[in-house]
Structure 1
Amino acid sequence: MTQCRLIDNTICEREEVNRLWMNANQPSSVYNFTETGFWKTRAPVEVRRLLQDVWDRYQGNETIEIQSTAARAQPYHNHWDSECTIIDISRIGGPSLQAQVADAIRPLVEEWTGMKLAITSVYGIRIYHNQSILAPHVDRLPLVSSAIINVAQDVDEPWPLEIYDHNGVAHNISMDPWDLVLYESHSSIHGRPFPLRGRYFANVFVHFEPYQGNVDSVEEITPPYLIPGSPSEMEWRLKNPKGWLLLRDVSLMAQKGDLPTLQFATSINPTLLRAADAQGWQPIHEAARFGHVNMVKWLMEQGERITPW
């Protein structure tokens, strides 16, 4: 923490208070959807095909992940001792590649959690280097049902993920290339508190937000993972005065290429197929702009057309 404070004491202290508050309050403020909170398996073949090509082409050409002062003054990773680098798949393959990775992972996570899942984010390839440490934490909402994919590593000894199950018992999980760890990142405290011994450890992170698959309205007030009256639910209400927008924001679904969630939301409220944003863009325009071919095809099957203004 000393080096963190030297970067920006105010930001560092604020972020550390937030980390500790979330660790203390968030796990008891949310519902869990699995018995243990984590599960290790192997990444689907399609995920390996998509990410191996990126790794092979761009390894050695990564950039420093955190560059701004505000972002560097955070206590989660000791980047002042060991910089993380990144091969940014959002720049290389865009939202289309991110959606393909998420779609390949989603069936496994949905089966594991028993919930329908919307794409929140796909991030990486983040590359940790020698002496990296990750402080124990829970993820900020709406990062709820998550996955870690180890793409590659060159280490002298395993660099375990330490995760606490729903009974508060710590587990150390070692990962080999193309191992996949699913975890309830909103409630299971996790980190890598032991220094990395080696050259690099490269991961991709996929995050989903769950929703009920049997609702008859998209006008839900709060997400199904928040316990009413809990500290995190009250904080969520303060930050989201318009309520839960997950199943109403079709523009965001189209930008992310989240076809299953768009299909679900529009099956309940078909008028969302032509819902326009402030610029007049409808889902079909956003899907075309971000290169989501399958979504454009499906929207055209529903009678939507890309028309000039």
Structure 2
Amino acid sequence: MTTTFLSFIVIAVIIAISTLPDVVTSRSEEERIAHYHSLNHTWPPAEYIPNTPGWRKLFEHRLRQVEEIEDRTERFEGFAQAISAGVLQPNFTEYGFGLARAPESLMVDLRKGVHDGYQKEGGPRLESYINAITEPRPWFIDRPDLTTRVLDELQDYSEAWAGFPLTPVTAYGFRLYRNTSRLHVHVDKTATHVISFILHIDSSDDADPWPILIEDLNGVTHEVTLTSGDILFYESSKCFHGRPRPFNGTWYSSVFVHYYPTHGYKETFDEMGKVNRIPPHWADEPTSQYEIPLRMHGTTMEEPSCDNFWCNTKFSNKWSGPGEEGYVIEPGGNKRVLDIAKVNDCKDRNKKCREWSQWESKECEANASFMHVTCPRSCNICSISAPGSSTPVSSGGDGGDGGDGGISDEL
């Protein structure tokens, strides 16, 4: 294999798409490998994040799958995605996802916006091509007035779930998936899509329940069916997720919302970390085929030999909403209070707080008596209750019968 070909792979293996990460570098493969060794990396990885037995087992399996991918470009991308999620990206919550409920006052306007857009003359436009989604291409309804409301009005909910201040990035929607569509399993952009949520707005009357598949931080695969108004909080650049089962119905609409931690994340983020961690032998042809075959589509993946294009749909924990406003339902069937009051206590009291906190004079320290009272968020001196720190409230055993938390098994 030529150096030119290897350099080409490292430079341009990623197809940029609107919701998923890019990897771009101008270094040669020899320089990349030299940097790998300078960082004292070893293979296979000694540690995973988190290093729970289930998470470790899941990603040891996935990395073996990647090593057996025959196409070199797909193999490189498979390494980048699996290493980023399983080995490098920090986790910020105990489980990686949770189910909550949006205010009904907001949902009334969102449902009306979707139905108005669907029924208007000419109907909704086609969404731009995304290789994460199978044909037919989704419809798209442009309502920035409403998506901005979702981004702003539900930021407090996201911060209460995560346990720290967040910087908003985008609210993307309204996407309307169409009959037979599938969303390949993937993780999102590590630079910005850290704390995220999916808000299910509505679906056509003929739509079957369509679960989202997500892997929790113990390596357990879940399929969660959202009802209209349900929020699925998730660490979208950490937990692989998708909708590998084909959708059956005319349309299904959601909005996708992303934030990143305000303090400390951008300052330490390494865009090239996942490329630097790919082992030197990535280009070697596979010598065995023991694992379930994995196929990459850009930065997304599927298991084409399995039912529903993902083998763990056979063994997944299957549950559904509705969620309960004011609470987060966690994997395992418990729920905890979504403490918005803690978030309100941490808000800045002056619009210039962010600016003041960034002055070279270090106002948060030099003028602490004023800044700590007026600008607790920008000075990073207040603590939002972290996930798991509040007392969990039982949602009715293991969630199998619905209980108080609104969970019901889908058999």
The two structures have a TM-score, normalised by structure 1, of 0.62
Counterpart position of 1:170: 221
What is the deviation of 1:183? Answer: 0.5
Q: Distance in 2 between matches of 1:18 and 1:162?
A: 24
Residue 110, structure 1, aligned to residue 159, structure 2: yes
- C-alpha contact (below 8 Å) 1:23/1:189 kept by paired residues: no
Percent of aligned positions with the same letter in both sequences? 28
Equivalent runs, 1:205-224 vs 2, <5 Å: 205-212=256-263, 221-223=267-269
Q: Distance in 2 between matches of 1:261 and 1:77?
A: 43
Q: Distance in 2 between matches of 1:188 and 1:177?
A: 23
Residue 100, structure 1, aligned to residue 149, structure 2: yes
- C-alpha contact (below 8 Å) 1:47/1:105 kept by paired residues: no
Which residue identity is paired with 1:83?
Answer: R
Change beyond 3 A, Cα 1:184–1:120: same
Q: Distance in 1 between matches of 2:117 and 2:349?
A: 31
What is the deviation of 1:222? Answer: 2.0
Change beyond 3 A, Cα 1:267–1:15: farther
What is the deviation of 1:200? Answer: 1.0
Change beyond 3 A, Cα 1:102–1:63: same
The SS at the match of 2:222 is: strand
Change beyond 3 A, Cα 1:29–1:10: closer
Counterpart position of 1:34: 93
Q: Distance in 2 between matches of 1:260 and 1:100?
A: 21
The SS at the match of 2:208 is: coil
What is the deviation of 1:39? Answer: 0.7
Which segments of 5 or more consecutive residues in structure 2 lack a partner in the other structure? 1-12, 17-70, 279-347, 361-411
Counterpart position of 2:127: 65
Aligned residues: 219
Counterpart position of 2:344: none
What is the deviation of 1:45? Answer: 3.0
Counterpart position of 1:87: 141
Residue 24, structure 1, aligned to residue 113, structure 2: no
Structure 1 segments, 4+ long, off by >3 Å, are: 9-19, 232-235, 259-264
The SS at the match of 2:219 is: coil
- C-alpha contact (below 8 Å) 1:118/1:261 kept by paired residues: no
2:355 to 252, 266, 282: 266
Residue 78, structure 1, aligned to residue 155, structure 2: no
Q: Distance in 1 between matches of 2:97 and 2:247?
A: 22
Change beyond 3 A, Cα 1:187–1:11: closer
Q: Provide Cα deviations, 1:24-72, integer angstroms capped at 9, x if missing partner.
A: 1111211111111111111123431442331232123210002xxxx45
Equivalent runs, 1:110-189 vs 2, <5 Å: 110-141=159-190, 142-154=192-204, 155-189=206-240
Q: Distance in 2 between matches of 1:233 and 1:23?
A: 12
1:231 to 262, 274, 279: 274
Which residue identity is paired with 2:93?
Answer: T
Q: Distance in 2 between matches of 1:261 and 1:113?
A: 24
- C-alpha contact (below 8 Å) 1:163/1:171 kept by paired residues: yes
Which residue identity is paired with 2:84?
Answer: Q
Root-mean-square deviation (CA), in Å? 3.4
What is the deviation of 1:176? Answer: 1.0
Bigger proportion of residues as helix: 1
Q: Distance in 2 between matches of 1:89 and 1:234?
A: 40
